[in-house]
Structure 1
Amino acid sequence: MKQYRAFCFDLDGTVYRGKEAIPAAIKFIRTLREKQLDYFFVTNNSSKTPSQIKEALLRFGVEASEKQIYSSAFVTAKYVKEHFGQAKVFVIGQDGIRYALGQHNIHIVEENPDVVVMGIDRMITYQKLAKACLAVQNGATLIGTNEDIRVPTEAGFQPGNGSFVKLVAQVCNVEPIFLGKPSPAILEMIRQGHGYQKSEMVMIGDNYDTDILCGIRFGCDTVHVNTGAVSTEKVKEKELQPTYCVQDLSEFEL
């Protein structure tokens, strides 16, 4: 592996799988810390606050500050603030997206919104989806924190946020705006915030359609690990290839 200054990791399927750590990834991150190399965690999971993600990582033996954690919730809140200003927002989602919107002083409402923001909500109901559909049909802009159709767990795949956003979009016959990976916005935030060149950054992940395409669209090197959502066999069928394909991060020496 060439010399990078910033290692950007996906979380679920890359650093851990559900509640189980991926040992090679944990060891690799610890080595980065020992060598005083910069690393960041880039997740499409909008359900947790940076503090909650930090605590979850610590349980896997990974030390990180909140400044090293970039979620689709944060990039979505930033986008809403920049493009919709003082708009009223109806939210489907958990702690992470609500915290991020609050940090950006965005006005959250239950009725007559200008924007509908959808993040993963493990307490999703028909009523919430119906409310979102009616708001969008009345002119609200539909924004999803991410478009993941499914998420890997130790028990198998479960529905991701994208499956619910696309349900609302299909009912309303609109195209939603997605801010998480594979949009390069989240990596651009890291680049601007820390002054890296794209050539100094590398995106590491298990999901070709989110992690790897995010890096490719951003213009940095990418590493696909065969530990999560998409197998190496499937990745090798893609037209645009990652810079590296490995079984796990034990194959790399720093």
Structure 2
Amino acid sequence: MQYQGYFIDLDGTTYKGSDQIPAAARFVKRLQEHNLKVMFVTNNSTRSPEFVANNLKTNHNINVTGENIYTTALATADYLDHIATKSSRKVYAIGESGLKTALVNKGFTFYDQNPDYVVVGLDSDVTYHKFEVAVLAIRNGATFIGTNADSNLPNERGMVPGAGSLVKLVEYATQTKPIMIGKPETIIMEMALEKSNLNKEDVVMVGDNYKTDISAGINVGMDTLLVYTGLSTKKDIAKQKIKPTYQVDTLDEWNFDQH
């Protein structure tokens, strides 16, 4: 059977930080030539889809628009839109512009006092006061949402704290488990499927990280393609009970006609 859609991870799969992965650009171009649906599914909640698309176009020779990008910010806003009533759309968010814009676009309003939801994502300007407001609101009954569980993020200085580290601080202070949205959870995958109008049987999840990308595909019941250009190694995969559906050293190896 031929897949109709490809959900693709960004860092480690499509590029490595600011470094290009030329095979990824060729892979996306081939997908577009086959008229297949391309959606980049990322745990990054800080950037707008347009910003991500512009980075791909300008720095990585990948010609897509914001419509091809699905971030944890969008998935969080879509999920909350599903569960919130008309009268429960007050939210307190620790996060950057990508998250806040996504929530506003779905009709949520920001409140410090008695919000219905507290959303915690990556915020490079986070303060003790922001944590204080979030913790008190959750202890007061607000529903606790975490954008994603990534403990660290790679940047030019090394592995800096990721959104998951901030979520854990709030979890510890509230003794409350959050609803998690991003990979490897199923919520981001279900929301991405809904946005793409495709069934999970028609899509393959492409990524470099077994713990996030591949596990997200497995958890939602989707076929998976692991590429060895990023985090996971062959030694790591050998230890896993559930293997990726497919494994390649580079995306140049992928044969559309066989899949």
TM over 0.5: yes
Unaligned runs of 5+ in 1: none
Call closer, same or farther: CA 1:127–1:228 in 2, change over 3 Å.
Answer: farther
C-alpha distance in structure 1 between counterparts of 2:251 and 2:157, whole Å: 23
8 Å CA contact retained: 1:17, 1:153: no
Counterpart residue identity of residue 209, structure 2: N
Counterpart residue identity of residue 133, structure 2: K
Corresponding residue of 1:208: 210
C-alpha distance in structure 2 between counterparts of 1:72 and 1:109, whole Å: 21
C-alpha distance in structure 2 between counterparts of 1:197 and 1:116, whole Å: 31
C-alpha distance in structure 2 between counterparts of 1:200 and 1:167, whole Å: 38
SS at the partner of 2:35? coil
**2:90 corresponds to 1:69:** no
Corresponding residue of 2:136: 134
Corresponding residue of 1:14: 13
Displacement after TM superposition at 1:154 (Å): 5.1
User: TM-score by structure 2 length?
Assistant: 0.90
8 Å CA contact retained: 1:224, 1:232: no
Corresponding residue of 1:122: 124
C-alpha distance in structure 1 between counterparts of 2:197 and 2:74, whole Å: 19
8 Å CA contact retained: 1:7, 1:202: yes
Matched pairs, number: 253
Call closer, same or farther: CA 1:33–1:154 in 2, change over 3 Å.
Answer: farther
8 Å CA contact retained: 1:17, 1:154: no
C-alpha distance in structure 2 between counterparts of 1:140 and 1:197, whole Å: 33
**2:53 corresponds to 1:51:** no
C-alpha distance in structure 1 between counterparts of 2:71 and 2:10, whole Å: 10
Range moving further from structure 2, 161-170 or 192-201: 192-201
- Identity in percent: 41
Call closer, same or farther: CA 1:191–1:140 in 2, change over 3 Å.
Answer: closer
8 Å CA contact retained: 2:12, 2:229: yes
8 Å CA contact retained: 1:225, 1:232: no
Call closer, same or farther: CA 1:194–1:116 in 2, change over 3 Å.
Answer: closer
Corresponding residue of 2:161: 159
Counterpart residue identity of residue 52, structure 1: F
SS at the partner of 2:75? helix
Displacement after TM superposition at 1:240 (Å): 1.6
Unaligned runs of 5+ in 2: none
C-alpha distance in structure 2 between counterparts of 1:66 and 1:181, whole Å: 20
Call closer, same or farther: CA 1:108–1:19 in 2, change over 3 Å.
Answer: same
C-alpha distance in structure 2 between counterparts of 1:210 and 1:113, whole Å: 30
User: TM-score by structure 1 length?
Assistant: 0.92
Displacement after TM superposition at 1:249 (Å): 1.1
